């Protein structure tokens, strides 16, 4: 554990850049304004979790070292969440309890979203997204269509594309990881 403090990860800049792109995708205004994700700390976590799960699914499809990148992405995600807790003043004794709850919540969502995405029908995914993200018993077909579109978009990325210029030591402009969520909003008749 102590030795981790002295190790440097040559990919960390690329992982940080990938995490930043995921955060950017998760904070697209249409997700909140048109899909009903609450613009709260919890709502932002839910959107972030959905997007991280989608990127992790893509990483599982790619050859090595994608599995290592996936673990590094999860580590970075949880480090950032822990940092955010500390920034808003959550005490040192409370943070580990909250992080344990967040991890349980994240992995539960990952399991449900994976199961929903593995189905041909959007129904199970729409129910899982509605229950977790919108805290609703009404399915969220627009959000399910968006999640599937993100998965399709990510399918065009190889590992270098995902890691972007961070993997090459540059600061380039990378293509977005996700399409515009407004295109998938379901409007009431």
Higher pLDDT, 50 or 86: 50
DSSP helix/strand/coil, 91: coil
Nearest-5° angle of CA 133, CA 136, CA 138?
115
Is 113 contained in some domain? yes
Residue 189's pLDDT band, with cuts at 50, 70 and 90, is: very low
Residue 189: inside a domain, yes or no? no
* Conformation bin of residue 117: beta by default, left when phi > 0, alpha when psi is -120 to 50: alpha
Judged by average pLDDT, the poorest of 40-44, 147-151, 166-170, 172-176 is 166-170
How many other CB atoms sit within 10 Å of the CB of residue 187? 6
Residue whose pair of structure tokens reads 């399915």 in the numeric block: 139
Domains held by the chain: number: 1
How far is residue 42's CA from residue 37's CA, in Å, rounded to a whole number?
9
Question: How far apart are alpha carbons 86 and 99 in whole angstroms?
Answer: 11
> Is 3 within the bounds of a domain?
no
Q: Is residue 75 part of a domain?
A: yes
Q: What is the mean pLDDT of the chain?
A: 91
Expressed as residue numbers, the domain containing 70 is 10-181
Q: Of 129, 182, 164, give the one whose Cα is nearest residue 20.
A: 164
Contact 35, 143 (CB under 8 A): yes
> Span 98-104, mean pLDDT?
95
């Amino acid at each position: 554990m102590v030795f981790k403090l002295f190790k440097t990860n040559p990919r960390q800049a690329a992982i940080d850049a990938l995490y930043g792109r995921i955060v950017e995708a998760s904070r697209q205004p249409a997700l909140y304004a048109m899909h009903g994700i609450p613009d709260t700390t919890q709502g932002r976590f839910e959107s972030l979790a959905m997007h991280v799960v989608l990127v992790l699914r893509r990483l599982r499809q790619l050859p090595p070292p994608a599995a290592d990148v996936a673990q590094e992405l999860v580590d970075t995600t949880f480090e950032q969440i822990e940092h955010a807790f500390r920034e808003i003043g959550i005490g040192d004794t409370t943070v580990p309890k909250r992080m344990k709850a967040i991890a349980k919540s994240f992995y539960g969502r990952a399991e449900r979203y994976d199961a929903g995405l593995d189905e041909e029908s959007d129904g199970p995914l729409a129910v899982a997204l509605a229950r977790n993200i919108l805290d609703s018993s009404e399915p969220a077909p627009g959000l399910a269509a968006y999640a599937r579109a993100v998965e399709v978009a990510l399918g065009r990325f190889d590992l270098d594309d995902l890691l972007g210029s961070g993997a090459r030591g540059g600061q380039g402009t990378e293509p977005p990881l996700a399409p515009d969520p407004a295109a998938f909003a379901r409007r009431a008749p």
